[in-house]
């Protein structure tokens, strides 16, 4: 199968990326988790609820930003391909 067929049949997920080779990514994720645990341990139930709602909005924002980045990157790639074919 070619790449377009793989994409069509759902075998490729453009939003999925491999972070395993990145030690920086793993380190930052661990730091975030540790700090979140420490922060939650100091909060009241009302503060935990507010923090949870805040995290939900941050995740929603990140998903939207990642989608826009993907779209812009894809368009840039297409423009680069067109420029190559026009030469």
Q: How many domains does the chain have?
A: 1
To 10 degrees, what angle do helices 45-86 and 23-41 make? 160
Q: Label residue 5 by pLDDT band (50, 70, 90).
A: confident
* 19/30 Cα distance (integer angstroms): 13
37 inside domain: yes
52 found inside a domain: yes
What is the reported pTM?
Answer: 0.69
Phi first, then psi: what are they for 2, rounded to 5°?
Answer: -85, 175
What is the structure's pLDDT at 19? 64
By residue range, what is the domain housing residue 60? 20-86
Using one digit for the tens of pLDDT, what is the confidence trace for 43-87?
999 999 999 999 999 999 999 998 899 899 989 999 999 999 887
């Amino acid at each position: 199968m070619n790449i377009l067929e793989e994409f069509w049949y759902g075998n490729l997920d453009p939003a999925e990326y491999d972070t395993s080779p990145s030690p920086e990514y793993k380190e930052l994720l661990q730091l975030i988790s540790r700090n979140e645990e420490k922060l939650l341990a100091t909060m009241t139930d009302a503060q935990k609820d507010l923090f949870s709602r805040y995290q939900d909005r941050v995740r929603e924002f990140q998903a939207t930003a990642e989608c826009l980045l993907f779209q812009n990157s894809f368009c840039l790639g297409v423009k680069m391909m067109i420029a190559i074919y026009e030469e």
